[in-house]
Structure formats: C-alpha cells, structure tokens
Structure 1
C-alpha cells in the first residue's frame, strides 16, 4: 500500500501495527472521523473496516461518504455517514445533536478535517474570507465539536487524536499565513486543554505529520516533486496511536528542524525577504 522513493523511505520509516492490540482496544467502540471522504480520513476508515467498531464518517461530500460506506459495509465494521460542512454553524450543530443522541456514546475522535491555502499576502489583500474560512474549519469547528463531546468522552474514558502538521513546530513560512495561523491556534488550544482532559481520564494525541500526498496538496505544483508521506502510512500512525495512546507523534528528524529554526532564525528572516524581492523584480 506504500510506495516510496529512497529519500521518502529514509524520512518516513515503516510503521508496524499490532493488530491484536488494536482489535482489543477498539472492540465495540464508536469512532468519529472528520474529513473522512478522502486522503488520511478515508484511509483510517478503510484500515478499521475489518474491526468490530462503529465508525461515524463526516465530510462535506456526501456522495464520497456513501461510496466509502458501500466499500466498507460488507466487512465487519458498522458505518454511519453524516455529510456536513463544519464551517456551517447549522450543519455543525446538527452533527453535535446527532452525536449526543448516540445510544452507545462516543469513544474516539479523529479530528482530521482541514483546509490548506497557499497565497501571498499581496494576493490576499482583498481576500479576508480566506482567513475566516480557514480559521473556521481548522480552529473554530474542532473547538466547538470537542467542547460538545468532552462529557461523552469523559464517561467513556475516550481518546482524541488531532491530526496536525509539523509546520506548527517550525518557523512560519511565507505564503502560508492563513493555514499556519489556524493550525497553530488549534494546536495550542488542544495542548492547553489536554492538561485538564487527562485529569478526566481522556487521552489526547497530537499527530504532527509532514507533507502528505493527499488531494489537498494537489493545487500546489511545487509539492508534486517533494518528498511526501503516503496517506495510508499516515493512517497507520493514527491507528497505532489508538492503542499505544502516546501523547505525540513527530517524525524522527523534526528535532533537527526545530533546532535549526531556533539557531538560524535570523538567517531565515534575512534570506526569505531577499528571495521574495528577487522574484518580484
């Protein structure tokens, strides 16, 4: 399922899942997966299809969710789909109402829904809506969803898995202001809240992923030739965290990136503006 070039094999070592542990941990559990219609969320759902779980799959594209349900429903897992744009207040509140009436409660949330925008600030001067819609899905929606479901997760001693990005751990990049601000906002909120959630018996995991080859990155041509993690591999990491319950996942090399961000920030902040000026001239 994972085909890597040599550099990708080095950057993204294999993840092995103990299926017996995962099966035991998830037996008869209810799992909510947002952003489930493609990419990482879809791969997580397919990976859990042979387990005795109830998956609630959420995404904007209802037809994609129904196709995914049809691909899974002849297997072991029970699947419910809830089409919703989590940026829409009414649709998000509808999802919350649906979850609250579940007879079996809720055990896991995989917070995966998100949007990425790459645009220079010069091209954003008349596009404030880029920032509001990015903040809406990457920050406001997961905050509201978790605030509503924390009581259910407290009862079940549940587990929240936030699918984040290594960008929040490194220096900000030009052209990514909307995306990085929104992802950093939720990462900070989630880590702060985790300190209290742990006292309630709720486990939290922050999965800091590198570039992943999903439909979300396709519009950015520069990413097509860059090393990227396979979404199946990302799903393996998420599923493994369901039984290891580790607080974080980070690529092995991210420490070098963080060290470089600290030591060479001054050089970065000199080089990037000079590079941008050269492109415009």
Structure 2
C-alpha cells in the first residue's frame, strides 16, 4: 500500500541518457554533499558519462570508495576533496583547489545540507543548532557561489540548488532552524538569478519532497511517512542538467501551498478564539 501511495505522489522521471551524455560530455561538475544520499546517487547516474566529477564531503573514506568504484568501472573521472564547508579555513582551501583546474567548472550542484527537527523549548540553550544549520544551508553555498560566478559566467555554466518543498510552504513547528536556513538561500538565489541568467549562467532550483536519505534517519516519525528514493531524486537533478528548467517541484506542491496557508490561518484563528473566550 505504501509503495502504491509513493508511486502516485512521486511520479516517475524519465532520464534520457543519450541527451545526458551528449550534453555533459567533457564538462566538469561539482557536487557538494557527495558521500551519501542524493549526492552519491547523482554520481552513479553520471558514472557512464565522459565528464569530470569533483566531489566534496566530510567523509573522505566514503568519497575514496566512490572514486575507486567509478573509475574502475565507468567513464567519468573523479577528483575528491575532504572538507567541512562550515569551516572557514577548510572552505578557503577548497576554493583554492577548485580554482586550480584550468578548464574551470561547468555545473555546480549544491546538495550539502543539514536538517534539525526540534521544539523551540528544547533549543533554548542550543543556539549552535541555528548557527551550524545556517552555516551549511546558507553561508557555505553563498560563499561557494560568489567564488564560482566568474568561472561559471565564462563557461555559460549552471547552478543547480537541491532545495526542499518546505521553503515553498508556510512555516511549520519544530523545523525553524532548517526551514529558515533553506529559505534564506532560496531567496538569495532567486534574487540573483535574473542577473546571472542575463550573463549566461543557468539557475535551477530543485524543490524536493521528503527523500529517504541518512539525513532523515534520526527522526523516527519519518519511517512511516511516504518518501522519495534518492535514486529518483538523482534522476530529477540529472535531467535538469540538459533541460535546464528554472525549477522542479512535485505536481501536488501547489495544493500543499494552499493547504499550508489555510492551516496557518486556522491555527491563528483558533488562538484568537481561545484568547477571546478567556
């Protein structure tokens, strides 16, 4: 039953592998958060393409395993870099590493992220939850993009931001750190997108629903909720590399936006009604 529901909610994505290979042949693609989940699946989708993959994540052991697996069996060449992009020193060294490639970068896939599900009353002495979430979901991709814009502009490249449907919905309890940080980068990217597009840089936002990745494992409630597979999410991202559409979002998101606004208004009305009855 659950699989049937998921197949209806997450309609299949057809990936034209010939188009993908033709469009990406000879190009250099940077993928952040590449050691697991969606990032790793994007790598496997691109493995048979004659392209250059630059992978960054904190887990060097996993990155090395992926590199060895890809280069021993497939067409893509791989460079890996271990870094915590929240760390200013490590980010600076990583940017120097990126600028060392004479051919530059054609596509940046911003996939690294952090999610926190916690009540505000459990966060009163946990300001670090907000600072570290903002660091990886907002400051890191902004710093990366500012450094990469000249190269992307010269190559008429593409920025693909792996975002969440949450940023398109009304705010919900328990996700203040996550939703605020993801929304911050989404607004930033949509703000600069017209300028970038005029200079030849394609900007694409991928608004994904819940995806069954290691990031959601700590939240036990998610085990019973329909979720997209990381393989499906990777197909959506790779397809965008040749369609270059401005955004992807699930077919039902518009209805979700209407429902979330209605629910928010209903909560406000209920609170006012309770105060009025006191």
TM-score bucket (shorter structure): over 0.9
Q: How does 1:112-131 map to 2 (within 5 A)?
A: 112-131=111-130
Which residue number corresponds to residue 162 of structure 1?
161
Q: CA deviation at 1:266?
A: 1.3
SS at match of 2:54: strand
For 1:38, the equivalent position in structure 2 comes to 36
2:19 to 18, 21, 24: 21
- How far apart in 1 are the matches of 2:119 and 2:69? 40
Question: In structure 2, how many angstroms separate the alpha carbons of the residues matched to 1:233 and 1:272?
Answer: 40
Q: Secondary structure at the match of 1:161?
A: strand
SS where residue 48 of structure 2 aligns?
coil
* Alignment partners' CA distance in 1, 2:15 and 2:271: 41
User: Which segment drifts farther, 16-25 or 212-221?
Assistant: 16-25
Aligned to 2:237: 238
Question: What is the RMSD of the two structures over their aligned residues, measured on CA atoms?
Answer: 1.5
CA distance 1:51–1:123, shift in 2 (3 Å): same
Give the Cα–Cα distance (whole angstroms) in 1 for the partners of residues 211 and 124 of structure 2: 29
Matched residue SS, 2:86: coil
- d(CA) in 1 for partners of 2:176 and 2:11? 30
Residues 1:18 and 1:272: Cα distance change in structure 2 (over 3 Å): farther
Question: Once the 2 structures are TM-superposed, how far is the Cα of residue 265 of structure 1 from its aligned partner?
Answer: 2.6
Describe the superposition over 1:186-233 as per-residue Cα deviations: whole angstroms up to 9, x where unpaired. 000011111110011000100000000000000000000100000000
TM-score, with normalisation over the residues of structure 2?
Answer: 0.95
Inter-partner Cα distance in structure 2 for 1:270 and 1:96: 49
Residue ranges of structure 1 left out of the alignment (5+ in a row): 275-281
Tell me how many residue pairs correspond in the alignment: 271
Alpha-carbon distance in structure 2 between the residues aligned to 1:105 and 1:168:
31
Kindly indicate whether residue 63 of structure 2 is the aligned counterpart of residue 65 of structure 1: yes
How much has 1:241 moved relative to structure 2? 0.1
Q: 1:269 to 1:224 in 2, by over 3 A?
A: farther
Runs of 4+ aligned structure 1 residues displaced above 4 Å come to 270-274
State the alpha-carbon separation in 1 of the partners of residues 271 and 8 from structure 2. 28
Q: Which residue of 2 aligns with 1:204?
A: 203
Corresponding residue SS for 1:86: coil
Alignment match of 1:48 (pick from 37, 46, 70): 46
- TM-score normalised by structure 1 residue count: 0.94
Q: Distance in 2 between matches of 1:98 and 1:14?
A: 37
Task: Please list every run of 5 or more consecutive structure 2 residues that lacks an aligned counterpart in the other structure.
Answer: 274-278
- Partner of 1:279 in structure 2? none
- For 1:139, the equivalent position in structure 2 comes to 138
**Whole-angstrom distance in 2 between the partners of 1:272 and 1:134:** 30
- Work out the CA distance in 2 between the residues paired with 1:24 and 1:229: 27
